Amino acid sequence: MGRLSGKKAFITGGAGGIGLGIALAMAREGAKVAIADINEPLLAEAMLVAKGLDITSVHCDVSDRADVFAKIDKFVSDAGGLDILVNNAVMFHYALMTDFEPEIVDRMLNVGLKGTYWCLQAATPHLKANGGGAIINLSSIAVSSAIPNASIYTSIKGAIDALTRQQSAELGAYGIRVNAVAPGAIPTPGANSVIDAAGWQAREQKTLLKRLPTADDIGHAAVFLGSDEASTITGVTLKIDSGMTLT
């Protein structure tokens, strides 16, 4: 029996990187998982990687509130309930504050912040009906240590930290735990688009453990937070950064 046996999990931005790492880890522990994403080719690749696991793909645009509600409702109907929501979807873009184009700012906020909020709204009634469950939001160590040219990304993640605490206060009475994980520097396709090999080496040397976390490491932490082992943990943002923010 896996640690998440019988649980149903809906994961946004689940087709690659950290999202897929979480999806695979949860499915390997017995969960029935839906990976929601807008990138159809990446979803197809993810399903090949997930062969043999109880994972389904869902095309979902988290910036579209109606689409979020429809896709979460359908998953709950098909799966027979909802136990875990993972809000992982995000858009990366780095630029000087004065150079951000309005449409980029809007898209980042619509995906990273509003998308998280729509998913919380859509999932909460199902979690209440289930008698409780777990919500896991994706924060970042960028909230703790300033990163040049990341004003919008860092603002979104800071807001998600605050939202995590707020929702834990609102939902605790219903047995719903709300936590966040704050990954350190992790080589993913999104991060690789803005960080070169020299940048990764410099980040690795800044860690206390002299190694960078992986998507699998985030997946293991998410499994714990989604499991009954974490039944009294809520309102927490867990840093998974190999000690980078302590240096």
Q: Which residue numbers are catalytic? A: 153
Q: Is 16 helix (H, G, I), strand (E, B) or coil?
A: coil
Among 128, 51, 46, 52, which residue's Cα sits nearest to residue 85?
A: 128
Cα(118)–Cα(98) distance, rounded to whole angstroms?
29
Q: What values do phi and psi take at 135, rounded to 5?
A: -115, 130
In SS3 terms, 144-187 reads as: CCCCCCCHHHHHHHHHHHHHHHHHHHHHHHHCEEEEEEEECCCC
Dihedral sign of CA atoms 208, 213, 217, 221 in order:
positive
Cα(67)–Cα(203) distance, rounded to whole angstroms?
38
* Cβ neighbourhood burial of 140 (10 Å; 0-12, 13-18, 19+): buried
Tokens of 205: 């040397």
